[in-house]
Structure 1
Amino acid sequence: MAIKLQLLTENPKEIELIERYWAVDESGQYLEKVSALAGIIEMAQGVTLTSFIRQRCNAFDEHQVCLKCAELIEIKNRSEAKKVPQRPTKLCTVCQEDQDAIVLKAAKAKSAELERQLAEYTRKQSTRTVDYSEIPDNQVLLLLALDRAITPRLTNGGFTVGDCRGLAPRYVGDFVQQLREAGLVFDDPGKARPGTYYWEGDEIWRVRDQVVYRLAPDVASRSADEIIRSLVDRVYTDADGIFNLWLDYSVADVMRYLGSQCELYHHDLSAAELEEIKSTMRSALETYSVSQLWSVAWKVVRDAASLANREYYNRPKAAATIPGKIRRNLEKVQRESIELKAWSRPEQHPAGTLGMVLGEILGVDENTSGHMVSSLVTWLTGHACSPSVEAELGEPTRELMTKALAHDASSSVMLRFAELIRAGHGVRFAVKEIAGSFST
């Protein structure tokens, strides 16, 4: 081991201490221990021997050279020295400073470009307007619910996703993203915390939870408060849009409950498994109520917890069965016309303002079946009495009522009809099912 010294002192005692500190034998072992050298020169309180020597000497290891210029690498203490020549992997002090300067210059240029692009984005957004009288019904309802969740932030300043926690039981960021993609709210970079926007390669990325949003300006220059008031009197006509928003909200309501149950029993589901369950639940919600699917989630999660305690099983394996168990359970319910039980809403699981708004305009809650919601939406939007619907249901209904009167069973028919509707079945299925009972 060969150490080249560059002395920064002319004090003989200090020079002696430095040379003894770095002195090695033929095998590269240091001749003296650090503890034996500590008392040779009096040092200020708190100053270590290593830092004292480093202030008075630069040490270079002849077994380490700069990757770029091949000059010797400076070392700070004994542990950094090498006993045999090393393959170049480091930069010397000068080259490292040059490299750091280049990196710093590039970072400053990137930062300046980021600020320029964000300023340009803000300028364009401030000149873009929205005709709120033309936006779809589902977006109207979402804005009304958002205003209720964050009043007065929507109409008076900016808001973050974290401010919107009261909007829905889960997936709040996704609902806000719907409004962002529709151009109804936009980013306000000037109000965001430092680090919210950053470069990833050649693209600008953002930390979604830190983004500050604002309501887009109105084409008629109305204030934000006036915009919200105008939306309250909306006449709804888009049945599909409203029903899909109800599905989005109800999926969030079901998945929140499922998540709390999985947390209770320490079931960790992957992102792919959660997406599979979401898809299954969304399809089921077209028929059943949220509270009925809570009962399915409750049963399946507990079955998985029991399975985890069996021999040759563990929690990860048991949790992986949950998506399939939910799907098979719902298939059996539909195949055998089983009436699902309905669970009550847990106290720690609020509905959210979107659920409240949907409940007010539709008269629905977690106990309303998907079939019933669909019917209510068609009534609300003026599509319930269309000729095609009447033509399809008219004849089967007349035949059913004729048979019911002939068998003096009108009361039992109506009770059975109500029972099937409560179980989540549609009017068509209920009429067909009851009519079939008269032919057996």
Structure 2
Amino acid sequence: MAVELDFLTTDPEEMELVSRYWAMNEYGEFLMPLKDLVPFKEIKQPAQLTKFVRTLCLAYDMNDICKCGKPHRASGRSGVSKSQRQSHRPCEACLEQQLLEKQAKEAADRAELEAKLAPHVEWMNSRSLAYRDLADDSVLLLQALYASVGPRLWEGRFTHDDCSDLSPYNSGQFASRLYRAGVLGDDPEAAWQGTYYLSEGEVRIRLEYAKLFLPPDVELGSGEEAFSLLIDRDFKNSEALSKLWLDYACDDVIRYLMDQCELHNQFIEPDALVKIQDTIRHGLHTYSVSQLWFIVWKVVRDAAALSRRSYYSQERATATIATKIRKQLEFADQTGELRDTWSRPPAHIVGTLGIVLNELFGIDERSRGESVLYMFAQMGKQQEANSDAHELAVAFMRDTLDLDTPLQALEAFAELIRSGLTTEDALVKAVQRNPEHFTS
């Protein structure tokens, strides 16, 4: 017999039934059909017999051997092997041992993770920021984030999902941007299990699941008063603001692209999407989001039509989208014509970042990229000019006081103003007239 029995009953009739049920010939064929084993006591149907036999014995398949050398349990006739083999699945004893080893390793990993997270937890609990010193793009993003999650920004904790209305498509990239810039902190004690893990002995974080928060200001702590420092910001970093707007505008176009692809059953591979994003970002240096929407609408429709041709597959047709967008941009550059009346679909949100950009700078989906970038560039130049004028005024006043000629200097300066010069030009003239007295 290829099955070894361990009886759980001492009833002779039941033991005989079990032996007849499992009886096999040398070819591994069962000798007794199930229909010939019933009725037996209350058992009337063959379907009930196997379940009853399992309560009377433990059957071990001697042809199905675990790596440890022990046979596997057989639950019924259908699971018995007809020839000798070594199984790749563990027996019950091995499975229990593996489970114990797995639990021990998980416990050790948790202990190691908690030990390595402890300094991080302590640091996050004590962190603070100088709100006045935060970069312009970070401040603008925090304003948009506040519009998305409210006072939870500093009072509670939030995740990427909580601020999904930050931008039209991939809001998480902007929350992650703040975290990587050191503006947002994370709270391991509030995080879901699995957010933090060990890799090569180092702690890693799944940022999309992390519980994030805005650390307090070094002077005013947390609250509405402290956050007001970020509301009244005088923006001046043209490069940072330009990059942030391009990131947002590209996100706005990609959302429209994904909607159109879904409409036409097109799937864009991740590598192809990166190429498309680069192309769209380049186009946004000149054109508006609305104009790029028109291009997207046209090329996705063309790709969908192409996929219906006998010599084109869906994948090949979709792969042409990046090149088609580039071609449309080149054509627009040559002709100077590109439709700009495309409207935002009802389900396609602006996002709180888009609202803040509109409130602060009057930017929307119809703002041409060249105009937006020029506006930011002029802001930077104005700031440089203001800085130069400030330094010139400081030098004028310092040297005037040092020479003890304040009245004469002020009269000369007033005369220049009356002649129609601006304040800055009057300062320059005053210094030029008295190079031996004033330094620029």
Tell whether the structures are fold-level matches, with TM greater than 0.5. Answer: yes
How far off is 1:62 after superposition? 2.2
In the alignment, what sits opposite 1:75? 74
Q: Is the alpha carbon distance of 1:32 and 1:311 closer, same or farther for their aligned partners in structure 2, counting shifts above 3 Å?
A: same
**Distance verdict in 2 for CA 1:90–1:364, change over 3 Å:** closer
Cα drift, residue 205 of structure 1: 5.0
**Counterpart position of 2:182:** 183
Match of 1:253 in 2: 252
Equivalence map 1:258-407=2 (5 Å): 258-383=257-382
Structure 2 vs 1, CA of residues 222 and 313 (structure 1 numbering), >3 Å: closer, same or farther? Answer: same
8 A contact 1:14–1:41 mirrored in 2: no
Superposition CA RMSD, Å: 2.5
* Deviations, residues 250-277 of structure 1 (Å, cap 9, x unaligned): 0011111111111111111111111111
* Cα distance in 2, alignment partners of residues 319 and 153 from structure 1: 42
Aligned mates of 2:306, 2:66 — CA distance in 1: 60
TM-score, normalization: structure 1?
0.81
The answer on whether the counterparts of 2:164 and 2:172 sit within 8 Å (CA) in structure 1 is no
Aligned counterpart, 1:54: 54
Letter in 2 for 1:79: S
- Matched letter for residue 30 of structure 2: Y
Assess if the C-alpha contact under 8 Å between 2:8 and 2:56 holds in 1.
yes
Q: Which secondary structure state, in structure 2, belongs to the residue aligned with residue 155 of structure 1?
A: helix
| Map of 1:425 onto structure 2 | none
Tell me how many residue pairs correspond in the alignment: 385
CA–CA distance in 1 between the matches of 2:295 and 2:107? 55
Q: What SS does the corresponding residue of 2:178 show, helix, strand or coil?
A: helix
- The 2-side partners of 1:92 and 1:384 are apart by 75
1:222 to partner: Cα distance: 1.4
Q: Could you tell me which residue of structure 1 aligns to residue 396 of structure 2?
A: none
Matches within 5 A, 1:199-210: 202=201, 204-210=203-209
Distance 2:98 2:344 in 1: 60
Report what 2:154 is aligned to.
155
| Structure 1 position 15 matched with structure 2 position 5 | no
Kindly indicate whether residue 39 of structure 2 is the aligned counterpart of residue 30 of structure 1: no
Which residue in 2 is equivalent to 1:4? Answer: 4
Worse-superposed segment, 351-360 or 188-197 = 188-197
- Displacement of 1:157: 0.4
Asked if 2 retains the 8 angstrom alpha-carbon contact of 1:183 and 1:216, the reply is no
Amino acid paired to 2:100? A
SS, match of residue 305 in structure 1: helix
Is the contact between residue 359 and residue 365 of structure 1 (CA under 8 Å) also seen in structure 2? yes
Deviation, 1:221, is 4.9
Contact 2:340 2:366 in 1 (8 A): no
User: 1:362/1:90 Cα in 2 relative to 1: closer, same or farther (>3 Å)?
Assistant: closer
Cα distance 1:316–1:50, how it changes in 2: closer, same or farther (>3 A)? same
- Kindly provide the CA deviation profile for residues 401-420 of structure 1, in whole angstroms up to 9, marking residues without a partner as x: xxxxxxxxxxxxxxxxxxxx
CA distance in 2: counterparts of 1:39 and 1:118, whole angstroms: 66
Paired letter, 2:59: A
The answer to whether the Cα contact below 8 Å between 1:290 and 1:367 also exists between their aligned partners in 2 is yes
Q: Which amino acid aligns with 1:24?
A: M
Q: Deviations over 1:186-216 (max 9, x none)?
A: 2223323334444567555555443221112
Shift of 1:315: 2.3
SS in 2 for 1:230: helix
- How far, CA to CA, are the matches of 2:209 and 2:384 in structure 1? 47
C-alpha separation in 2, matches of 1:201 and 1:48: 54
Pick closer, same or farther for the CA change 1:167–1:90 going to 2, 3 Å: closer
Q: Which moved more, 1:87-96 or 1:352-361?
A: 87-96
1:283 Cα deviation after fit:
1.0
1:234 Cα offset (Å) = 1.0
* Cα 1:159/1:206, change in 2 over 3 Å: same
Q: What letter corresponds to residue 19 of structure 1 in structure 2?
A: S
> In the alignment, does 2:101 pair up with 1:102?
yes
Alignment partner, residue 64 of structure 1: 64
* Partner-residue secondary structure (3-state), 2:61: strand
| 1:201-248 per-position Cα deviation (integer Å, ceiling 9, x unaligned) | 755555544322111232225114233211111122211000100001
CA distance in 1, matches of 2:216, 2:39: 75
- The superposition leaves residues 385-405 of structure 1 with CA deviations (integer Å, 9 ceiling, x where unpaired) of 869xxxxxxxxxxxxxxxxxx
The CA deviation string for residues 61-105 of structure 1, in whole angstroms up to 9 with x for no partner, is: 22233312x233332222222111113534343333223222221
Deviation of 1:367 (Å):
1.0
Contact 1:6 1:57 in 2 (8 A): yes
Among the aligned pairs, what percent are the same residue? 38
Q: What are the Cα deviations for residues 97-125 of structure 1, in whole angstroms up to 9, with x where unaligned?
A: 22322222112222333344344422221
| Mapped partners of 1:214, 1:378: distance in 2 | 32
1:390 corresponds in structure 2 to: none
Distance 1:240 1:105, change over 3 A: same
Higher gyration radius (CA): 2
CA drift at 1:278: 0.5
C-alpha contact 2:160 2:208 (8 A) present in aligned 1 = yes
Give the conservation status (yes or no) of the 8 Å contact 1:145–1:354: yes
d(CA) in 2 for partners of 1:253 and 1:380?
24
CA contact (8 A) 1:65 1:90 kept: no
Give the 3-state SS of the residue equivalent to 1:243 in structure 2: helix
* Cα distance in structure 2, aligned partners of 1:354 and 1:7: 73
- State the Cα distance separating 1:35 from its structure 2 match: 4.5
Q: Summarize the Cα distance change of 1:374–1:163 in structure 2 as closer, same or farther, 3 Å threshold.
A: same
